[in-house]
Structure 1
Amino acid sequence: MNHTNTIIPKKRINSIDALRGFALFGILMFHCMEHFDLMTIPVIDSPIWQTIDNGVYSVISFLFAGKAYAIFSLLFGLSFFMQMDSQAEKGIDFRWRFLWRLTILLLLGYLNGLVYMGEFFVVYAILGIILIPLFKVPSKWLIIIAGLLFLQIPDIISFISLLSGKTPNEPSAAVSYMDQLYVTCADIFTNGSLKEVVEFNSWKGQ
């Protein structure tokens, strides 16, 4: 009698899928409220509807704005670990395969970014490369690195410098440049053609 080995796939973790669904729904809701790339709150003639509109915007911002992005980013890192760890148990080095997946993510994100400037997969693809060498780093060092990142040390230095009067309380050149980009893109997205939108997003929008 011949015996065949049955491969039993690992069960999906429902809580992770639920969190990912909440995060994606929250990001979609917030993008809808900010009118995707325009990020403007419309002025309504009726004071009542203006109040309702502002209230809905505030509620959506409170419920989803920061939380949804944070959860989705956390799950991106968790998915990376689960893939790498699962393959490591089988003796497979998954680093190059993961890098290839990031490359595909970068390409798809860039293409989507041609019509939607708020595309974030490009950022995930680029920052995801940092995860690969960190996979072998001991957990205690990862906790230290995470703690340092949470402290946002460059902002603390900038704040102390402002308090001491060593730095003028003015926007940096980078902030001024980004502000001007938003002014330019708002005009193009509102009044420009699809060709002009794609041309802007091909580089500056990214």
Structure 2
Amino acid sequence: MNAITPSSGPVPTGRNQTIDILRGMALVLILIVHCSFDFTGWDWTIPEEHVPELPMAALNPTVGGLVDFFLRDKARALFALMFGVSFALQLARSEQSGRSFERMFIKRMVLLAMIGLVHGHLIYYFEILRLYAMAGLLMLLLWRLPNKALLPLVGFLTVLAPIVGYGLLQALGLDFMAGRPPQSEIFVAFTSDSPREILSINHRLATSTYLPGFLIGFGMPILGNFLLGLWLARKGWLQDPMVHRKALKRLMVVGLVFGLLLQSSSLIMPQLDPASPVWLFLLLGIAFLAAAPMLMLGYVGTITLLCTHPLWIRVLRWLAPAGRMTLTHYIMQSVFAWVIFYGVGLGLYGRIGPALAVPIGLLLATFQVLLSIWWLKRYRSGPLEWLWRWAIEGLRPQWRRESHSAP
């Protein structure tokens, strides 16, 4: 029996260019979001009196609003979705080869957690590999659920669970932000030229991500998006888009239309009177949480359909090599923060807003894409992917290609 069952999806026999393109797109979008907000301190730590002094001050709110509306949370959801897809494909390959999937996958998640701990506490506090490792282990308990049970569970984890969780925390009088350093301290530390001060604040922020509020708001939706990726892989839509064009068109239309309508709640909520009925805040909160996965599915349907067109695939296939080096590039993006944005480097943190951060993010993403193409013509995998495979399998993988050919 196919390991992706219950499913109509085929067992994969090699790399799938469409799936690699989606992974590469997720990397690009995440970098743009991080550059716009986390790496610059925009809408988070920059003192209000400094905002009018930033370059292109009149454009910053508009550009930041567009990135927030169309990409924030959606890029993270796409990245998590592709993990779920990969889970299903790895499961299929393992069963086809007769190997034990569970033992190997647990080993993968333990290693992923170790990488996440080092990455989070030493380089980038808001990293998600730790949550991926925890959610991945929970996937082992849930992957056998039938398709008809997956989607309701996805809805609960991505929408209802955060609402209920935050409600319980509020009822218990717990502070969602307890343990997080004050914003003024964060701003001073990241603009400092002292590596020790940056490491210290980064560690404190990474520690605060273990608080219940963070785990509820980010951990549960990550698991939900993992399961959504599993559901998609079972359908086989991404593995063979030419066969499933009608289904992908429905996914695109429903995702984009309903996603944009739901995302409009983010424009309404700030305008509400604090005295408005609780049910109205609750309704808008549900709409807001549902918007990210819905809009993300619209993006997935759109990109996958474009991959079936000869003209578009010639453009989008440039992203595929980056999608084969996701671990390397994800860590590299955090290094960009130290070199370009923090005080130990060029010191752009707190000195620019989204209007300049988005072009910087696009330039960095272009660099990663081109680097991937160059690298994979010479080597079989990214450097961290190579070390990852060595650690998992216990055998040193082949490193170089025999000839410089296209990956």
- Hey, what's the Cα distance between the residues in 2 that align with 1:18 and 1:40? 34
- Hey, what's the Cα distance between the residues in 2 that align with 1:13 and 1:109? 26
Q: What residue ranges of structure 2 are gaps of 5+ in the alignment?
A: 1-11, 208-407
Indicate the residue corresponding to 1:149 in structure 2.
157
1:20 and 2:27 aligned: no
For 1:75-97, what per-residue CA distance to the aligned partner results, in whole angstroms no more than 9, with x for missing partners?
11111111012211232211111
Indicate the residue corresponding to 1:74 in structure 2.
81
Does the Cα contact within 8 Å between 2:26 and 2:78 map onto a contact in 1? yes
State the Cα RMSD in Å: 3.2
The residue type paired with residue 145 of structure 1 is: L
- Hey, what's the Cα distance between the residues in 2 that align with 1:154 and 1:32? 26
Residue range with higher mean Cα deviation, 191-200 or 61-70: 191-200
- Hey, what's the Cα distance between the residues in 1 that align with 2:114 and 2:161? 32
Distance 1:175 1:70, change over 3 A: same
The residue type paired with residue 146 of structure 1 is: V
Match of 2:147 among 139, 149, 159: 139
Matching of residues 14-163 of structure 1 within 5 Å: 14-36=17-39, 38=41, 39-40=44-45, 43-45=51-53, 49-113=56-120, 114-153=122-161, 155=163
Question: Considering only CA atoms, is the larger Rg found in Structure 1 or Structure 2?
Answer: 1
Residue range with higher mean Cα deviation, 141-150 or 28-37: 141-150
- Hey, what's the Cα distance between the residues in 1 that align with 2:139 and 2:175? 27
Q: What residue ranges of structure 1 are gaps of 5+ in the alignment?
A: 1-8
For 1:12-45, what per-residue CA distance to the aligned partner results, in whole angstroms no more than 9, with x for missing partners?
2222112111111111011111142734466244
Identity of aligned residues (%): 29
Does the Cα contact within 8 Å between 1:24 and 1:72 map onto a contact in 2? yes
Task: Give secondary structure in 2 for the equivalent of 1:119.
Answer: coil
Instruction: Give the number of aligned pairs.
Output: 190
Does the Cα contact within 8 Å between 2:45 and 2:183 map onto a contact in 1? no
Displacement of 1:153 after TM fit?
4.4
Distance 1:70 1:157, change over 3 A: closer
Task: Give secondary structure in 2 for the equivalent of 1:136.
Answer: coil
For 1:135-158, what per-residue CA distance to the aligned partner results, in whole angstroms no more than 9, with x for missing partners?
223333333322322441462586
- Hey, what's the Cα distance between the residues in 2 that align with 1:181 and 1:123? 24
The answer to which structure, 1 or 2, has the higher relative contact order (CA under 8 A, 6+ apart) is 2
Does the Cα contact within 8 Å between 1:188 and 1:196 map onto a contact in 2? yes
The residue type paired with residue 75 of structure 1 is: M
Indicate the residue corresponding to 2:189 in structure 1.
188
Does the Cα contact within 8 Å between 1:23 and 1:67 map onto a contact in 2? no
Does the Cα contact within 8 Å between 2:33 and 2:71 map onto a contact in 1? yes
TM-score between both structures, scaled by the size of structure 1: 0.75
Does the Cα contact within 8 Å between 1:43 and 1:50 map onto a contact in 2? yes
Distance 1:86 1:201, change over 3 A: same
Indicate the residue corresponding to 2:377 in structure 1.
none
For 1:33-70, what per-residue CA distance to the aligned partner results, in whole angstroms no more than 9, with x for missing partners?
11427344662448x92122222222222232121111
